[in-house]
Amino acid sequence: MKKIHLSALIFGIFTLSMQSACSNAESTTNDNHSKVENYITSSNNNCKIHNPAPNDNESVTWSGNCKDGYADGDGVTTWYVDNKVFEIDTGNNIKGKLNGFVTMEVKGDFIYKGEVVDDDFQGVGTMTWENGSSYSGNWHNGLWNGYGVLTLTDADKESIAQFKSENHGKYVDESYVIEGIFEDGYLTIECQKADCPAK
């Protein structure tokens, strides 16, 4: 799940950008050769860990077990760039990929607590950004999909202004809250949970 960064939270769009560059990652292809998967080997125990966005000057450690050469079971994956901790992922790995309930902390960016499937936000989870804004709800293919609540702090003034101009959301205490059904990161229906259509 590593190095997935929020690049925009404006106009209700959840946009992720993957960092790019090449490093010491191993590439493999699946049976139909349509998808390249990169793995990096942990420096402390030689377990392979899925690395969807390799970077120069990157390393990783894994605190759990290895099975057939891949990180396996519960443990902590710590990512480093230039020998500084960049990200900490805590949870279950299957063949080097995060699966199940995880906690993922990207330093200076966000903390995600929720479900993942093969390193992808999938299921129910909450992402809280460093500025205090958050999204809590359903995820599919790494994007907000289904019922969710987007809570914005005053640090997201441009996003709040956009939602207000479209008559979406309301202030609840000190935060601006948008609740409803999201599809591929976009608000499609504003509603309260009890009134939202089944999705």
Residue-level pLDDT, tens digit, the chain, 199 residues: 433 223 334 333 333 322 222 233 344 444 443 456 899 999 999 999 999 888 889 999 999 999 999 999 999 999 999 999 999 999 999 999 999 999 999 999 999 999 999 999 999 999 999 999 999 999 999 999 999 999 999 999 999 999 999 999 999 999 999 999 999 999 999 998 888 887 5
Distance CA 29, CA 19 (A): 20
| Tally of structural domains, the chain | 1
Positive or negative CA dihedral for 65, 70, 73, 79? positive
Task: Identify the pLDDT of residue 35.
Answer: 55
Task: Identify the pLDDT of residue 156.
Answer: 93
In three-state secondary structure terms, 138 is strand
Task: Identify the pLDDT of residue 81.
Answer: 95
Task: Identify the pLDDT of residue 52.
Answer: 86
Which CATH number is 158's domain given? 2.20.110.10
Task: Identify the pLDDT of residue 192.
Answer: 85
Distance CA 12, CA 131 (A): 16
Task: Identify the pLDDT of residue 197.
Answer: 80
Domain span at residue 182 reads 4-195
